[in-house]
Structure 1
Amino acid sequence: MKQQEQLSSPIAGCMRWGKWGANFSTAAYRAMIEECLAIGVNSFDHADIYGDYTTEEEFGDALKEDKTLRSQIKLITKCGIQMVTENRPNHNIKSYNTSKKHIIRSAEQSLKNFGTDYLDVLLIHRPDPLLAPEEVAEAIQTLQNQGKVHAFGVSNFLPHQVNMLRKWVPIQYNQIEVSIICTAPFNNGILDNCIENEITPMAWAPLGGGLLTDDLHPHYRSITHAASLLTEKYVAGLNEILIAWLNTHPSKILPVIGTTKSERLAQAKIAASIKLTREDWFLMMKAATGEDVA
C-alpha cells in the first residue's frame, strides 16, 4: 500500500520562482510560501535543475528564516537530468543520469539546499534509456531506509517504462503533461496505468502552458467557447473550468500550477470543488480534438 503524503490540490510549481522567471528575493519566496499556505496549498514542486541548480537553495533560504514552515509543507523534487551550466562545470553535454550514485548524491544535495532532513517526494525527472532498475531501486531503498525520502515516483514515464521500473521499486507518482491541449494521456494508457497501479498522476502545464491566452492553438476558439459556456453554468472562471476538467477524471490528477501569483493557485483551489458532468467533460474534449467520440 502506497504511503499517502497528503499533497494538496493544486501543487505550487516553483520552476519560475527564481532565475528562470521572477527572480524572487528571499522575502518574496517566504511571502509566496505563506500565501500558499493561507489558501490551503501546502505542496511545492521543484527539480534540482531549476534556475540552473539555484532555485532549491533560494527556496531553502526562506525556510531557514522561519523554522516553522518546514513542518507545514510538502517538498517534491526531481533528479536525473544533467544540465550544461556554469554551476555544473563537469557536465559536458545535456544528458540523463539515473545511476545509484547520482540519485543519492542529488537527493542529498537537495536536502542540503532546502535545509531539511527529508524530502516528501522524490521523482526521476525523465525516462533514461540507460536506466538500470536495480540501481534505482537500491538508491531509493537506501534513501528511504535513512528517512531521507518518504515517497518515490517518476515524471514523464510511459506505461511500459512505469511497469518495468515498478517490478523493482514501488512507484507512487507519475508527473506528466496533461491538459485540454495535451489530451493524449486520456487515450494512450498513461492514466489507465496510474489507476491500475494506484499511482497518483501529477499534471504539469495543466492550463496548457499559456497557449490558451493567445491564438496559437488550432482549437483555441472552440475550447474557449465551450469553456465560456461552462463558466456560466458553474459560476467559475476559465482557469477553474480547465482545472475542474482534469479533476473530474477518476485517476485523481493533482495539477501542478507553475505560477508566481498566488491568485492563480487560489483559482485552482476553487476548482477542486467543481466536478463537471459527463456531458460537459465530453463537450470540452470535443472542443479540444474537433471530433465527437466514435
Structure 2
Amino acid sequence: MRAPHRSSRRAARQRRRRRAAVLGCAALLVALGAGGYAVLSPDTSRTASEGPTTQARAVPPLTEPSAAPSTNPSPAASGPAPSTAPPSSAAPPSTAPPSTAPPEVVEHGAGSFTTAGASGGRVGTGGVLRRYRVEVENGIGIEPDAAAAAVQAVLSDPRSWTTDGRDSFQLVSSGAYDFTVKIASPDTADAICATGGLDTRGEVNCDVGKQVVVNAKRWLTGSPQFDGSLDDYRALIVNHEVGHRIGHGHEACPGPGKPAPAMMQQIYGLKGCTANAWPYDAQGTYLKGPSVP
C-alpha cells in the first residue's frame, strides 16, 4: 500500500489540534459556570481542608477573662446568653446602595483604611471578652460607621457566638483591641491574606494575624451559592471568620435539607444543605456538621 502523502498527514495533525482547542474552550466554559469565575465552584481536585480559609485557632484576648465570667454551659444545653442584642429576627443594617442597580465593586482601593468612629457596650455574658474595631478601605464606596453597625448587629445577635457561654464582644473605636474586622477591595484583601500564606484569589475572605479580612466583593454582592439575603450573607462572613478566631474549624453539611453550619465553606456549594448564616438557632442549639479534617 502506498504511504499517505506528506500534505495529508500534515492536514490530519491540524485537524487534531483544532479538535483539542475546541474541547479546551468547552472545558473552560464549564469551569467558569454561574457567576463567571471558577473559584466559586467546588474544586474536586482538592479537599476542603486545603481551601484558602483553613485557619482555625483559638486566639487569646488581650486581657484575662473579667467581669463576672459565666459557667460555660454546653451549646446544646444553654439558651441564648443575655445581651443587648436586637431581636433575633432583626437583620443587620445594609450598607449597600438603595438603588436596584448592582453595586459597583472597586477591585483596587486606596490601600489606606478609615476606622469606624462607632463603639458600643459589651454583648454576651461570657468571661472571655474580645474587643474589636471595624476598618474600611478608602475609595471602595462603603461607609465605615454603617459597616461597623452591621458587624455589631451580627455579633450581638443571640444566634451568634455569645451563646457559647464563653465569648463576649465589644465594638471599640480606640484603645486596646483584640482584632480588626477589615473590609477591603479584592486586590487589597488578597495582599493582606497572603501575609498569612492564604491564596484568596480575589474572591473570598480570611482571618490572618489580628485581622478578619472581608472581601468587599462578597460584602456588596453576596455569593451565587448562597440563596439567602445579602444581610444574611454578611452575617455568615462575620460568623465564619470570627468562628476561626475563637477556635472553630471547618464543618461539612450534616445532611440533605438541614441548615448548613456557619463553619461550612458555603461559597463552594451547599452540598444538599440549606443556606444558613448563624452558628446557633433561635432556641440556642448549635447548628453543627461533621468536622472537616
- The answer to whether the superposition gives a TM-score over 0.5 is no
Provide the TM-score with structure 2 as the length reference. Answer: 0.26
Provide the TM-score with structure 1 as the length reference. Answer: 0.26
Based on CA coordinates, which of the two structures has the bigger radius of gyration? Answer: 2
Relative contact order, higher structure (CA 8 A, sep 6+): 2
- Structure with greater proportional helix content: 1
